[in-house]
Structure 1
Amino acid sequence: MSPLNTTISRAWQALREQPLHISYLGGEMLYDACDTLARDNADITMEEIGISRLGRPLFALTLGSGPTNITIKGNAHADEPAGIVTCLVLARLLTENPVWQILNDHFRFFLIPTANPDGLARNWEWLDGAFDLKRYFMHVYRDLPCDDVEFGYPASIDTSVQDVRPENMACARFFDTAAPVAAHLSLHSIVFTGGAWFLIAADTNLTPFEPSLSFVTDACVDEGIPLHDEDRGGQKGFTRLREGFHSIPTVEGMKAFFNRSGDTALASDFRINSMQYAMKNCGARFAAVSELPYAFDRALANMTPTGLTRRDLELRRVDQYTIVLNELADTLDRFYDLPKTDDGQFWMDYFSAYLAYRRSSLKSLMRDMDRYADKQATLRDLYDVNLLELRHRIYNSAAGYRLSRFGDHPNADEWGKRYRTCFDQQFDEMASRFQFQVVSLVTQVRLQLAIILAGLIAVGDQETSDLKNE
C-alpha cells in the first residue's frame, strides 16, 4: 500500500472514532456555519460564487495546499441535503484532525455545500428537526427535469444557452477555476434502496478502480450498511458494474429514454450533469456519485431470480404506474377550478407539471421493453414494483393534503383531514409491508466521506501509474 493510501485508510479509521454531532443546515444556519469555518481557520477561503434564481447566495469553500485539485458538490437535488453536512464536516476534519490534515499536503479541495439553495428552502418543513420518514413524504419537494440542477450544465462556460439556471452557471465557473481537476464528487441521497449505492464514471473495465471500490465496500461493512443491487439494463445510462456500483447516468441516456415517449420538449430539458462537465471541461479523470438511502430494505437488493420474465414484470409496473397517475389526475381535477392562495396555485402548477412528466416517463417505459427481452426478473424487481404503488399513493395523498392546506374555499379543512387520514393509512401500510431501516445522518455523512476518500485513492493510483509509464 502506498504512503498516501495508508494515510487515507488511517483517515477513515480516525473518522469512525470521532463522534459527529450534526444536523441538517439551511439558510442563515448554513451561512453562519460556513462563515465560522472560514473565520476560525485561516486555511479556508469562503466566497460567494453566485446568486440563485430566487436570489439566495451560493457559497464555496476552498482549502488545502496540495498540487491535485478535487471538486465536491452537495445538494444538487432539492431533497438531498446530506451533502451539505458532509462538505462542512470534511472542511472541519481537514483543518482539525491530525490525520486528515496530512491530506492537505496532497490535495486542494473546492467545495460547494449546496448547489440548490432554493430547493433546500422548499424542503425545510421536513428538514427542521430530527429526520422522520413520514414527515419527509408529507413535505418533500423535488425539482422537475426542466429545473434539475444536476442535469442542468452548459456544454462549456463559453456556450451561450438560454434558460440555464444561474446556479449551474455559478457552479460551472467555480469548477473552471479549479481546473485541471483530478476528481469530481457529487453527493446525492435516495429515498429507498436495498443499501448503499454508488455511481462511477467508468466502463465495464473496473481494474483501475478496484482499490477505490474495495475501500468503499469495506466502509459500508464498517457502517453496517449492505450494498444495493439492481440491473437497469443501461436505461438512462445506468449500467450495472457490480454489486453496489453502477455507471453514472448521462445526458445522452436521459434524452434517448424520454425521446421514446415523443416528448421532445421534455428530452431537451436535460443537459450534461456535473460529472460530465468536470470530465469534459476540467480534465477530471475520476467522477463518482453517492446514492445513500434515507431508509433501506435488503429485499430491494435481492437478486434471486423469479419465475417471471423481466418484460412481464415491467408490464406490471406500467399497469401500476397508470393507476396511480390516474388517481393523481383525479385529485388535481378536484381542485382545478377552486379558489387558491398564491401558494396553492404554485402547488397546483407544480403537481400538474409533475403529472405530465410522469406520464411521459410512462410512455417511454412502455416503448423501452425490448431492453428487458432476454432478462429474468429478480425478487428485487418484484419488491420494487410492489413498492411503486404504495409510495405513489402516499405522494398522491400528500398532494391532496397540500392543495387543501392552501385552498381558499369552504371545504378546504374537511378535504385536508380526509387526505391526511388517507396519507396516514397508506404510510402505515407501506411500513408494515416493508422492513425499512432508517439510515442516520451520521452514517450518510461517513459514507459520503468514504466515496470522497475513494476518489483520492483513484487519483493517487492514476498518478502513480502515469509516473511508471513515463
Structure 2
Amino acid sequence: MFARISQLAAAVPAIEAFAGVDELNTRIGEIARDHPDRTELSRIGSSRLGEPLWSLTVHGGPRHVVVVAAVHPNEPVGGLTSVQLAGLLAEDDELREELGCTWHIVPCVDPDGTRLNEPWFTPPMTLESYGRSFYRPAPDEQVEWSFPFSYKGHFFDRVLPETVALMRLIDETKPMLLCSLHNGEFGGVFYYLSRATDALNEQLAALPLNLGLPLHTGEGEAAFIEQIAPAVFRSFTAEEECDFMLELGIDPARRTGGASSGAYAARYGTAYLATEVPYWADARADDHTPLDISYAALLVERGRHTAETTRVLEGVLAATRADLTVRSPFLRATEAFLPYLADAAESDLARAARPESERPAVVAERFHSTSGIQSARIRFGGMLLRALAAEIAIGNGTPAIRGGHDRLAGVYARWLAEAEMPQPIPLAKLVGVQLGAILATATAIGE
C-alpha cells in the first residue's frame, strides 16, 4: 500500500499559487456536485465574521477520519491538500474501498484569518511579500489552540465559533484519526503523532525524501517536546507546556490559549497527526555535524536576539499605544505574542545555565536558532506594521503613529536585508507530503 501512496504523493500536478477562501469553497463544492453518489457537503458552523464553514464527507466505510486545514490561517498548504485529497477519494473507488473510511474534509476552518493572509498568496512569494502581509491570530483566537482547558488552576473557556464547529464535528464522528494540516517557513518536514509505530515513522520520513525534500531532525519547537524518530515528534499537550513553564520558573498564566484539537479528540481514542511542511527547504535542518560552539552558547545567543527583537517591538508599541484607536486583529496578535517572545528569550537563557547544555551544538540546532529569530522578526514586525498602517489608513496618522511606523519600517528593512531567502519549494511537493502522510497514517491506524 505504501508504494501506491508514494506514487500518489509524487503525482500531484503542478500548482501555481495558494488558494484563497473563495477558491477553496468553489473547488470543494464542485467535487460534491460532480460526485453526489459518494459525497455530501455540509455546513458545520459559522466564522466570527459570519462566513459559512464547510465540510465535505466522502463516504467509504464505518471508520471516520477528520482532516482540517487552516487551523492556523497563515498556513495555506493544507487548503490545497484538502481539495486534492477530496478529489482523489471521490474519484478513486479502489483507494476509497481499500482505506475503508468515511472522510470529513474541512478545507478552511478559519476563513476570516485566511483572508487577511491572501495578499501574499499571489506569486511570486518573497520573504518581504510574505512578512508585510502576514497574519497569525493571537493564541486565544487560534482554532487549533482554543479548546476548553483546565489544569493546575489555569482555565480557558473562551471557545471560538470555529472551534465549536470543529468540536461538534469531532463529537458527531468520533474519528479514528484527526489530521491537522500545518506548515512552517524554513528547513525540513516534520510531524506530530500521538500514536506511532516504527513502520509508520519510517514511511513518514520517506515521503519527503522521495520528493527531494529534507527532514527537520533538529530540536523541536519547544524543549519539552519528545522526538520519537527522525522528524517525528510526539504530539504534546497544553498540560505539558504548563509544567515546562513552571519548571523554568515562568508563570503559566502568561499562556493565553487553551487545549489543542488533538487533546479534545483524544476522549474518543482518536489518533492525531499534524504534518508540518516548510515553504523554503534547507538541508541544514537535517545536518548533525558538530560545531565549534556549545549548545549553551547557542541558547544564550538566541535568547539575547529574541529579547532584543522583543524590546524593539515593545518600544514601538509603547510609543504609539496612547493614540491607537482600532483593536485590529494585527494589534491583538502583536500584544499577545510579545509576552510569548519574552518568555522564549527567558526560557533559552534558563536552559543555557543547565549542565546538560554544555555540549557541542550541531548544524541543525544552529539553523533552528537562526531561522527562529528570523521568523519572529518577519512575522511579528510585519503584523505591528500592519496595525500601525491600519490607523494611518483610517486617517489617524498622528505624529506618534507615523513616527512609530517609520521607525519600525526602517528596522524591518534591515531585518529583511539580513534574512536569508532560499528558493521556494514547488507547492505540489508540499501537498504531496501532506497527502501521503494522511493516507499512510490512516492505513497504519486502521490496521
Fold equivalence (TM over 0.5) = yes
My pick for the range that moved more, 366-375 or 43-52, is 366-375
Closer, same or farther: CA 16–390 of 1 in aligned 2, 3 Å: closer
Residue in 2 that maps onto 1:220: 208
Residue in 2 that maps onto 1:243: 230
Offset of residue 96 of structure 1: 2.1
| C-alpha distance in structure 2 between counterparts of 1:249 and 1:453, whole Å | 22
Residue in 1 that maps onto 2:115: 121
| C-alpha distance in structure 2 between counterparts of 1:189 and 1:30, whole Å | 17
What SS is found at the alignment partner of 1:255? helix
The answer to whether the Cα contact below 8 Å between 1:306 and 1:379 also exists between their aligned partners in 2 is: yes
The answer as to 2:286 corresponding to 1:291 is: no
- Pick aligned residue for 1:429 from 405, 413, 418: 418
- Pick aligned residue for 2:366 from 382, 386, 393: 382
- Pick aligned residue for 2:310 from 313, 325, 328: 325
Offset of residue 41 of structure 1: 0.9
Residue in 1 that maps onto 2:141: 147
Closer, same or farther: CA 96–15 of 1 in aligned 2, 3 Å: farther
Offset of residue 393 of structure 1: 4.0
The answer as to 2:73 corresponding to 1:78 is: yes
CA-to-partner distance for each residue in 1:386-408, whole Å, 9 max, x for gaps?
Answer: 34444444446535643442322
One-letter amino acid of the structure 2 residue matched with residue 126 of structure 1: W
After TM superposition, the structure 1 = structure 2 runs for residues 41-440 of structure 1, keeping only pairs within 5 Å, are: 41-42=35-36, 43-97=38-92, 100-103=95-98, 106-154=100-148, 162-179=157-174, 181-193=175-187, 195-202=188-195, 209-232=197-220, 235-236=223-224, 238-259=225-246, 260=248, 262-267=250-255, 269-279=256-266, 281-284=267-270, 286-338=271-323, 340=324, 342=326, 347-369=330-352, 370=354, 372-373=356-357, 375-395=359-379, 397-399=381-383, 401-406=385-390, 407=392, 408-409=396-397, 419-420=408-409, 422-431=411-420, 436-440=422-426
Closer, same or farther: CA 350–222 of 1 in aligned 2, 3 Å: closer
What SS is found at the alignment partner of 1:342? coil
What residue ranges of structure 1 are gaps of 5+ in the alignment?
464-470
| C-alpha distance in structure 2 between counterparts of 1:378 and 1:11, whole Å | 33
The answer to whether the Cα contact below 8 Å between 1:250 and 1:273 also exists between their aligned partners in 2 is: yes
The answer to whether the Cα contact below 8 Å between 2:183 and 2:275 also exists between their aligned partners in 1 is: yes
| C-alpha distance in structure 1 between counterparts of 2:8 and 2:371, whole Å | 38
The answer to whether the Cα contact below 8 Å between 1:315 and 1:366 also exists between their aligned partners in 2 is: yes
| C-alpha distance in structure 2 between counterparts of 1:141 and 1:148, whole Å | 11
Closer, same or farther: CA 52–427 of 1 in aligned 2, 3 Å: same
What SS is found at the alignment partner of 2:318? helix
What residue ranges of structure 2 are gaps of 5+ in the alignment?
none
Offset of residue 129 of structure 1: 4.6
What SS is found at the alignment partner of 2:50? coil
The answer to whether the Cα contact below 8 Å between 1:212 and 1:458 also exists between their aligned partners in 2 is: yes
Offset of residue 189 of structure 1: 0.4
The answer to whether the Cα contact below 8 Å between 1:20 and 1:442 also exists between their aligned partners in 2 is: yes
| C-alpha distance in structure 2 between counterparts of 1:11 and 1:352, whole Å | 43
One-letter amino acid of the structure 2 residue matched with residue 142 of structure 1: R
- Percent identical residues: 23
Offset of residue 447 of structure 1: 0.4
What SS is found at the alignment partner of 2:278? strand
| C-alpha distance in structure 1 between counterparts of 2:8 and 2:21, whole Å | 30
One-letter amino acid of the structure 2 residue matched with residue 441 of structure 1: L
The answer as to 2:441 corresponding to 1:455 is: yes
One-letter amino acid of the structure 2 residue matched with residue 38 of structure 1: A
What SS is found at the alignment partner of 1:437? coil
One-letter amino acid of the structure 1 residue matched with residue 276 of structure 2: E
| C-alpha distance in structure 1 between counterparts of 2:212 and 2:273, whole Å | 22
Offset of residue 257 of structure 1: 3.1
Offset of residue 437 of structure 1: 3.3
The answer to whether the Cα contact below 8 Å between 1:41 and 1:95 also exists between their aligned partners in 2 is: yes
| C-alpha distance in structure 2 between counterparts of 1:232 and 1:118, whole Å | 29
One-letter amino acid of the structure 1 residue matched with residue 189 of structure 2: A
Offset of residue 326 of structure 1: 0.9
What SS is found at the alignment partner of 1:336? helix
What's the TM-score once normalised by structure 2's chain length? Answer: 0.87
The size of the alignment, in residue pairs, is: 435
One-letter amino acid of the structure 1 residue matched with residue 228 of structure 2: L
Closer, same or farther: CA 382–219 of 1 in aligned 2, 3 Å: closer
